[in-house]
Amino acid sequence: MWRLLCLAIVFHLAVAVFGEDVVVTTKLGDIKGLSGKVRFRGKTHVLKKFLGVPFAQPPLKEMRFKPPRAPAPWKPDLYNATYYRHTCMQEKLDRDEMQKQIPGFKNFSEDCLYLNIFTTYDFTDSSSLPHPVMVFIHGGSYVAGSAQTILGDVLPLKGVVLVVIQYRLGAFGFLSTGDHHAPGNTGLLDQTMALKWVKDNIGHFGGDTDRVTIFGQSAGASSIGLHLVSSKSKGLFHQVIMQSGVDLSPWAIHGVHSALHTSKELGRMVGCPTHLNVLLVECLRKVDAQEIADFISDSHQGSDPLDLPWSPVVQGEGEESFLVDDPKVLRENGRFHRDVRVMAGFTSDEGAAIIQSIADQFNMAELLREEKISQTALGSLLHHYFPIKNGILAGEVYNTIARGYQNTSDGVETGVYRQGMVDILTDYMFAAPAHQVLRHHSQHNETFMYVFGYRSPNIRTNFWMGTTHNDDLPFVFGLPFHTTKMRHNCSTLDSALYSKFCRGKRTQIFSDYVCTHRNWSFCNEYDHRMGHSNIDYAIIPQQYEKFDHEDRIISDYVMELWTNFAKFGHPTPPKTANATYSQHSEIVEWHLFLNLTPRRKTRTIFI
């Protein structure tokens, strides 16, 4: 799958002081973190950071491929949470890229089940009310990612406690033999263990255990969707935000037989017996961790980039099972957490990043250069993702799909264009699954849908790719609120993140509500008096030369929506926002379009 590897570089600013110790007492023992003053929008905040807090025992040796165990207390010792711990083992390509960008970086280990906490709660004021909690789960195709790449210094300034977790990746988190020897989904169980830790301990950090929102992007978002249909996660959260992924996404889970094949392929590559699962797993537990991680990269070669080698699997009914059936079946049977409020969305041009990945595979290299593509190339792609054995029926179906995405001018068909392909892939991989999930959930609780369509004028990427996969993350975490130009290290591995931008003369927030056959747009003036912030460190993606005033407007608005949802269960509660965000329902499918300019057109999404 497409992926972006962003490296967290630490930049200490003269105006931000982080170095004062702060100690919090928990059930496991005392934890020492860092405290410092941060300026944000003209106001001084005292931000506390607790880095590398263990939420499980190290999954080493015989614990490899097994569910996590609760952490052991460290009383009477003082736990030092003033620095990051290890990043989870991941594929060689990602590891090499990080080491190339940061010479000598070797902070990878199986001992990686840690979380980071960021809070502005005033521990000295006994009358302070607890803050809602937001737990972030990173993406990365289930094989890459790190809590260290997530900037945690801005979002908490909106009055929430931010927790960023890690979980085992690749074979370490998702190897499955389809039986009790390696049932799979240990990466998801890591996430569950982290959520249990939050429920038991976050109150000591000023968090409200009755207002826990989990949010994530890409594979992190699909993981959240799977938590919604797993009994293992019941009662651990109250609201969710899924960004660019849900449990019904076509790439969210792996077939059991395919997972077993990949596990045996790994065994053969490292010299383990594969005729008996018990021997295979016992042998793999003794193999060097780096050798296993290196295989992950090899398994990608020549395969469909959307067919992830290591993913969650359906385990069947059982007391220890995380996922007992296909998510679609579970939802149709009402077996999901209906008491949870849901917000889900995607970027307007997710499919552009996919085109970057599959252009060579489907002989569509012209897509990267030309606007128009051939019917042959289109048919090849549609047949791959929507296989129909009956040739005559297939032709009719594919032509119908193609017509639905044709560009037209004055009623005259002008052919299938690159943007049509972007839209097809966006709908298939992200939009349609999100609609399906929200349809199921809206019958039981409040649901909200958004489309992130903002394209920064400062992005240095191809115009045609629109607002694509990952483009929302800098704005969710407040990256534009940095006052100094910082060095950046970010490398696109499978795709670049490129987009178009239509810039209006006035600075406005437009809300584009869409329902069947109708379209309403309205704008609301936004307060331009925005301050900057002085933040301790930042992740500045390579595609951004800088961030400007418009970027800060969008970022502030997005952070407001996200934190409002965490606080009130609604992105725009009464008297708190300049736009009303209507609920998405089975009858009227509203969504909020996030941009500085209104959406000019809408399209039918095939579900």
Per-residue pLDDT of 500-545, as tens digits, reads 212 222 222 222 222 222 222 222 222 222 233 333 334 445 566 6
162, two tokens: 């931010």
Tell me: do 120 and 239 sit in the same domain.
Answer: yes
Q: Quick check: is 403 in a domain?
A: yes
Is 519 in the same domain as 386?
no
Domain boundary among the residues 337, 369, 388 is at 337
Catalytic residues: 218, 350, 469
Residue 75: what pLDDT?
86
Q: Would you say residue 368 has pLDDT above 80?
A: no
575 in any annotated domain: yes
Domain boundary among 283, 303, 337: 337
Q: Between helices 289-298 and 92-101, what is the axis angle to 10°? A: 100
Domain with 516, as residue range(s), is: 451-594
| Shared domain check, 202 and 122 | yes
Does the residue 446 lie in any domain? no
| Cross-strand bridge partners of residue 243 | 217, 345
Residue 151 clears pLDDT 60, i.e. is over it:
yes
pLDDT tens digit sequence for 235-284: 999 999 999 999 999 999 998 999 999 999 999 999 999 999 999 999 99
606 part of a folded domain:
no
State whether 88 and 184 are in the same domain.
yes
Residue ranges of E strands in 141-300 = 161-165, 207-217, 239-243
Please state the rounded mean pLDDT for residues 94-123. 83
Q: What is the pLDDT of residue 98?
A: 64
The C-alpha R_g of the chain, in whole angstroms, comes to 23
| Residues 407 and 331 placed together within one structural domain of the fold | no
Q: Does one domain contain both 370 and 281?
A: no
**Per-residue model confidence (pLDDT) at position 587:** 47
- Domain edge (last residue) among 276, 307, 337: 337
Q: Kindly state whether residues 522 and 490 are assigned to the same domain.
A: yes
The SS3 call for residue 534 is: coil
Helices 418-426 and 350-358, packing angle to 10 deg: 110
Q: Is residue 428 part of a domain?
A: no
Question: Could you give the 3-state DSSP secondary structure of residue 111?
Answer: coil
Tell me what the mean pLDDT of segment 145-155 comes to. Answer: 90
Same domain as 496, residue 551? yes
In this prediction, residues 593-601 reach a mean pLDDT of 66
Number of domains the chain contains: 3
Instruction: Indicate if 169 and 272 belong to the same structural domain.
Output: yes
Q: Is 69 among the domain residues?
A: no
Cis status, amide bond into 480, omega within 30 of 0: no
